[in-house]
């Protein structure tokens, strides 16, 4: 993922997904043999061959919109984390200590009686502030005060935000040794502009359900004329959606490199009182802001000036309530899940409260919880083994660069320089975050979340204008994912993903190379994909390719995009080859590099045969089995519109671009996945 794009901006994330045990688990380490369906030809459907029995026998749990390898690992990490959090809660640690914060945050989330008793008390000051808006300057100030650092542009992490804009603090495109603020389009309650602009029956149904949801939230808050206000709020959001830039265009970093001095905002994006906005956002002291989607910022600002003040106040009131709904009385939480859980993703049942409490605590106090996690579940030996694999695959990637016949010496030198300066974090960060000053109380779940978000926001602001810490992590150790951070030229592999089936210390090395090795190769390759290739060894946005070299790479990328465009997961809905291109390039390159690393680990020979499979077959089967996943139709539809990752079965089909896979499974012309040698994409 860049930032594997939430798991590769790019995170790996898939919407990312580990295999459940509906098929009886094997006691052996390595491949899940009972999960296979050997009646399927590998050359026709390699994903089905590797996972077909699992797919037939494994239901999606009622509290999930999707299920697969990532979700199983996530459940495992959550159970471990829950035990650690509950131990922290029982520890009676001193007030203000991280252990006490963890225990109190979790306990407050679990205290439904206190939440019910508080009603709207915690959110009332925000509602009162909105009600007091009397003119457009005060509107701008309130809009600014709600800005939060809740987006990661390069990773599509929380890419949409229901706040008018989102803030991302990251290295400067042109001066990567300094942190700057990036302003991104926001303002939508549904995940993407296409949810508002689509006209087919499913889109129209979702739009109707969203309007009903807005009215239901307002009704629960005893706000009059809920249906009329909901219609006006939706119309405003529809206009905001019309101003938005598409996700594909948003991934073009060259379109995002726009430095606006604060004084320029009023002329470049009139309509919003920017002076009051930046004052409310505590950004008035910044000399300039990077504007990711200029046309969207201009269009949204114009709406701030043209749309009636009462509509904006209703809009802000709804979103304040909607954001808080999960920690308001039960009726609000149920309505929130009804739309965002069931309608939007198809999940019929909400996750158990303790699971939600664990996730919320880990999000608010990620590094504090992470310290406990790695102490108990990530021994030094595991870190050392993973580091050895990383070094081997980095070396393999370097050899692939050396052997690229199409790459000029000039580009090759710069590519090797970038590879040599790549920072790779394994398991956990070198420096833990400090939570001193964050107030957590045992009786105010919503207040804890609000204070945590505000704390995070100001921690981000504190980085502005400061030197970049290349070793800073963007994920917590208990996160099941991995990430590439192009502006830092860095990778993060959290401890929680370094578990079976991705990484098993008791399995043969060939299986680990087929699983976590391909993830490692995937993340490394993000530094050289259609996005990462645009950043040099220091993280600067700079074209370091010769014209001919980039043309060759672009041709390979276009052919891979066309390959994925043909996949049709739902009738009439295809994978978007451009939207998923970065991840697909990384899968091809990562699989290739890890294969080279695996062969090197075995002295440039295949691994021994085992369980009836040759060494190369075991490598490719391990790759296909980590992508097993199932999605409800609603979740799949949403993923195809918004996710930078293709569904797992199509990621497993990446093997059709690897020559060695054809030899391993004797794949012949006429089989469905067969590509003639000249048609296979060889980006790296």
Backbone angles phi, psi at 195, to 5 degrees: -65, -30
d(CA 611, CA 29): 11
Tokens of 42: 């590998």
Residues 42 and 144 both lie in one domain: no
- Could you tell me if 334 and 341 are in contact, meaning their C-beta atoms sit under 8 angstroms apart? no
Q: What's the token pair of residue 668?
A: 């012949």
Q: Is residue 554 in some structural domain?
A: yes
**Does 22 have pLDDT greater than 50?**
no
Instruction: Name the domain boundary from 284, 308, 332.
Output: 308
How many H-runs (helices) and E-runs (strands) does the chain carry?
30, 9
178 shares its domain with 298:
yes
Residues 519 and 663 in one domain: yes
CATH code for position 39: 3.40.390.10
Are 168 and 253 within 8 A, CB to CB? no
At a CB cut-off of 8 Å and minimum separation 6, what does 28 contact? 611
Residue where a domain terminates, one of 308, 343, 359? 308
State the alpha helices, DSSP H only, in 285-364.
294-306, 309-324, 330-337, 344-345, 353-364
Q: How confident is the model at residue 251 (pLDDT cuts 50, 70, 90)?
A: confident
Q: Are residues 299 and 408 in the same domain?
A: no
For residue 156, the model assigns a pLDDT of: 45
> Could you report the per-residue pLDDT of 467-492, keeping only the tens digit for each?
999 899 989 999 999 888 888 899 99
Model confidence over 69-102: pLDDT tens digits?
A: 999 999 999 999 999 998 888 888 898 899 999 9
Clarify whether residues 303 and 164 are in a common domain. yes
Residue 283, pLDDT score: 98
Strand residues in 570-674 grouped as ranges (E): 629-631
Residue 214 lies in a domain: yes
Give the pLDDT confidence score for residue 6 in this predicted structure: 27
pLDDT at 532: 81
Residue percentage of the chain with pLDDT more than 70: 94
pLDDT at 160: 56
122 is a domain residue: no
Q: Which helix (DSSP H) or strand (DSSP E) does residue 180 occupy?
A: strand 179-185
Residue 565 scores a pLDDT above 80 = yes
What pLDDT is attached to residue 597?
92
Residue 365 and residue 373 in contact, taking contact as beta carbons nearer than 8 Å: no
Strand order in the sheet with 483-485: 423-427, 490-494, 483-485
The answer to the question of residue 684 being in a domain is no
Residue 141 sits in a domain whose CATH number is: 1.10.1380.10
Query: Which of 521, 499, 517, 523 has its CA nearest to residue 619?
Result: 517
Domain extent, residue 398, equals 33-57+392-427+481-679
Mean pLDDT value across residues 442-455: 96
Nearest-angstrom CA–CA distance, 290 and 128:
32
In a domain, 67, yes or no: no
Do 397 and 419 form a contact (C-beta atoms < 8 A)?
Answer: yes
- Final residue of a domain: which of 260, 282, 308? 308
pLDDT in tens, 616-663: 999 999 999 999 999 999 999 989 988 899 999 999 999 999 999 999
Residue 641 and residue 544 share a domain: yes
* Dihedral angle, C-alpha 515, 516, 518, 524, nearest 10 °: 170
Same-domain pairing of 50 and 189: no
pLDDT digits (tens, 9 = 90+) for 530-552: 778 888 888 899 888 899 998 98
pLDDT at 435 over 80: yes
Total structural domains within the chain: 2
Residue 576 lies in a domain: yes
- What confidence tens digit (pLDDT) does each residue in 285-339 have? 999 999 999 999 999 999 999 999 999 999 999 999 999 999 999 999 999 999 9
* pLDDT attached to residue 29: 66
Q: 16 pLDDT exceeds 60?
A: no
**Is 492 strand, coil or helix?**
strand
Assign 3-state DSSP to the chain and report helix, strand, coil percentages, each to 5: 55, 10, 40
- pLDDT category at 388 given cuts 50, 70, 90 is confident
Q: Is the pLDDT higher at 148 or at 6?
A: 148
47 & 142 share domain: no
- Tell whether 69 is covered by a domain: no
Q: Between the CA of residue 239 and those of 294, 301, 303, 355, what are the distances in Å?
A: 16, 11, 8, 37
pLDDT for residue 219 is more than 90: yes
Tell me the whole-structure pTM to 2 decimals: 0.87
Mean pLDDT, residues 42-70 taken together: 95
Percentage above 90 pLDDT, the chain: 79
Question: Would residue 612 count as lying in a domain?
Answer: yes
pLDDT of 153 reads 55
422 shares a domain with 550: yes
Q: Do 667 and 552 sit in the same domain of this protein? A: yes
Per-residue exposure over 284-294, b if at least 16 CB sit within 10 Å of its own CB, e if not: eebebbbbbbb
Mean pLDDT to the nearest integer, 256-275: 97
The rounded distance, in Å, linking the Cα atoms of 80 and 483 is 22
648 plus 557 within the same structural domain: yes
Looking at the structure, tell me whether residues 160 and 279 fall in a common domain. Answer: yes
């Amino acid at each position: 993922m860049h930032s594997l794009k939430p798991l590769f901006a790019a995170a790996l994330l898939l919407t990312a997904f580990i295999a459940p045990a509906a098929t009886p688990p094997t006691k052996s380490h390595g491949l899940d043999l009972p999960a296979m369906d050997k009646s399927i030809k590998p050359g026709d459907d390699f994903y089905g061959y590797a996972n077909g029995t699992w797919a037939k026998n494994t239901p999606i749990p009622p509290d999930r919109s999707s299920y697969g390898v990532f979700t199983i690992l996530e459940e495992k990490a959550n159970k471990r984390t829950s035990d650690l959090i509950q131990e922290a809660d029982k520890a009676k640690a001193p007030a203000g200590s991280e252990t006490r914060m963890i225990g109190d945050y979790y306990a407050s989330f679990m205290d439904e009686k206190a939440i019910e008793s508080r009603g709207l008390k915690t959110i009332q000051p925000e509602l009162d502030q909105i009600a007091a808006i009397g003119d457009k300057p005060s509107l701008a100030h309130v809009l600014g005060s709600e800005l939060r650092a809740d987006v990661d542009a390069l990773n599509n992490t929380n890419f949409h935000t229901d706040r008018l804009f989102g803030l991302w603090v990251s290295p400067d495109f042109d001066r990567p040794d300094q942190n700057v603020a990036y302003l991104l389009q926001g303002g939508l309650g549904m995940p993407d502009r296409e949810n508002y602009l689509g006209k087919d029956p499913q889109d129209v149904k979702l739009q109707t359900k969203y309007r009903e949801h807005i009215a239901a939230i307002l009704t629960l808050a005893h706000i009059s004329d809920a249906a009329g206000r909901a219609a006006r709020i939706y119309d405003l959001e529809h206009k905001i959606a019309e101003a938005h830039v598409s996700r594909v265009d948003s991934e073009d970093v060259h379109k995002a490199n726009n430095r606006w001095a604060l004084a320029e905002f009023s002329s470049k994006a009139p309509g919003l009182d920017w002076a009051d906005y930046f004052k409310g956002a505590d950004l008035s002291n910044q000399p300039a802001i990077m504007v990711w989607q200029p046309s969207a910022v201009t269009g949204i600002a114009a709406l701030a000036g043209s749309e009636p003040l009462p509509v904006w106040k209703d809009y802000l009131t709804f979103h304040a309530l909607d954001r808080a709904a999960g920690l308001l009385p039960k009726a609000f939480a149920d309505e929130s899940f009804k739309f965002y859980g069931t309608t939007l993703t198809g999940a019929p049942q909400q996750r158990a409260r303790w699971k939600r409490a664990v996730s919320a605590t880990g999000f608010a106090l990620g590094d504090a919880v992470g310290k406990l996690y790695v102490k108990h579940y990530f021994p030094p030996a595991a870190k050392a083994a993973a580091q050895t694999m990383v070094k081997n695959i980095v070396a393999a990637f370097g050899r692939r660069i050396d052997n690229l016949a199409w790459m000029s010496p000039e580009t090759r030198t710069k590519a090797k320089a970038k590879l040599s300066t790549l920072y790779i974090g394994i398991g956990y960060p070198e420096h833990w975050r400090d939570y001193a000053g964050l107030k957590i109380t045992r009786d105010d779940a919503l207040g804890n979340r609000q204070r945590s978000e505000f704390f995070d926001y100001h921690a981000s602001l504190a980085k502005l204008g400061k030197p970049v810490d290349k070793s800073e992590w963007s994920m917590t150790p208990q996160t099941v994912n991995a990430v590439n951070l192009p502006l830092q030229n860095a990778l993060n592999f959290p401890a929680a993903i370094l578990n079976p089936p991705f990484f098993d210390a008791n399995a043969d090395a060939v299986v680990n190379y087929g699983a976590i090795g391909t993830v490692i190769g995937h993340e490394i390759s993000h530094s050289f994909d259609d996005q990462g290739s645009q950043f040099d060894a220091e993280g600067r946005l700079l074209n370091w390719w010769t014209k001919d070299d980039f043309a060759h790479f672009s041709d390979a990328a276009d052919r891979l995009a066309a390959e994925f465009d043909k996949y049709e997961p739902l009738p009439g809905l295809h994978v978007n080859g451009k939207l998923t291109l970065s991840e697909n390039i990384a899968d091809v390159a990562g699989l290739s590099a890890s294969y080279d690393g695996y062969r090197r680990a075995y002295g440039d020979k295949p691994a021994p045969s085992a369980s009836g499979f040759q060494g190369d077959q075991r490598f490719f089967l391990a790759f296909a089995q980590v992508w097993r996943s199932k999605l409800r139709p609603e979740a799949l539809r949403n993923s195809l519109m918004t996710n930078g990752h293709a569904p797992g079965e199509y990621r497993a089909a990446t093997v059709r671009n690897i020559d060695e896979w054809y030899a391993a499974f004797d794949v012949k012309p006429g089989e469905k996945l067969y590509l003639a040698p000249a048609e296979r994409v060889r980006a790296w």
